[in-house]
Amino acid sequence: MPRTLPYYVVDAFTTRPFAGNPAAVIPLAGWLPDELLQQIAGELALSETAFVVREADGLRLRWLTPTTEVDLCGHATLASALVWMDEVEPGAARVRFATRSGPLEVERDGERLVLDLPARVAEPVADPALVAAVAEAIGAPVVELWRSRNLMAVVADAAAVRALAPELRRVGALPTEGLIVTAPGAGDRDGDVDLVSRYFSPQHGVDEDPVTGSAHCTLGPYWAARLGRTTLAARQVSRRGGELAVTVAGDRVRLGGHGVLVARGELRLP
């Protein structure tokens, strides 16, 4: 008989279904072969599928895109915490995951969940050829270019971020795991925030990620330094869109957001 696994789909960083960033969450009794985990992530075809296993020293969390495993994923961490605290251990107020990025905690704050993630502070890029390559890839002038794990392009305003129609082949050829594009959020059509952004990662099989928690580990420190304060309101202006409360605390970034459970089901394995 085929084996079955329960799975859940959570829309993260949103208060309504079919917005924010969907992530699949699969609690496991023990680890399956890596090849099978990747096949499952490819079959579900969301930007991230999270797998959670209770090990001897606590919960371990791994994140896979449709094509590869990644070191950090904010929205799938929020989704995993929501599933664990609402479905697996109902009533829990806090959960701690061991991950490839170290221990990550998520706690309830009223109706929101708050993630504690490592900061990824960017450094300015002074290479004119790379700045030009990024501008060509996104089809818009680049005011500043920065690099952490990802490249981060600063453009003129929120309208420019919303209007981007990047050439994904060019984005995928850039020397980076993904490309963040950001601008001040003042005057955005959905109301003022401190910053807006979009995130593209064809290198990892994700043309555009709807709402990217890990990108805000770079966006937070940059905008905190630029604006002179550590608490920020952020909006990712993809087609689905999402909002995050960002707090920069030294080498950590705390991300607050909501999540909505939109599906639960059963996977059948060979």
**Which of these is catalytic: 48, 107, 208, 243?**
48
Q: What is the 3-state secondary structure (H, E, C) of the chain?
A: CCEEEEEEEEEECCCCCCCCEEEEEEEECCCCCHHHHHHHHHHHCCCEEEEEEEECCEEEEEEECCCCEECCCHHHHHHHHHHHHHHHCCCCCEEEEEECCEEEEEEEECCEEEEEEECCCCEECCCHHHHHHHHHHHCCCCCEEEECCCEEEECCCHHHHHHCCCCHHHHHHCCCCCEEEEEECCCCCCCCCCEEEEEEEHHHCEEEECCCCCCHHHHHHHHHHHHCCCEEEEEECCCCCEEEEEEEECCEEEEEECEEEEEEEEEEEC
Catalytic residue at 35? no
> Among all residues, which ones are annotated catalytic?
48
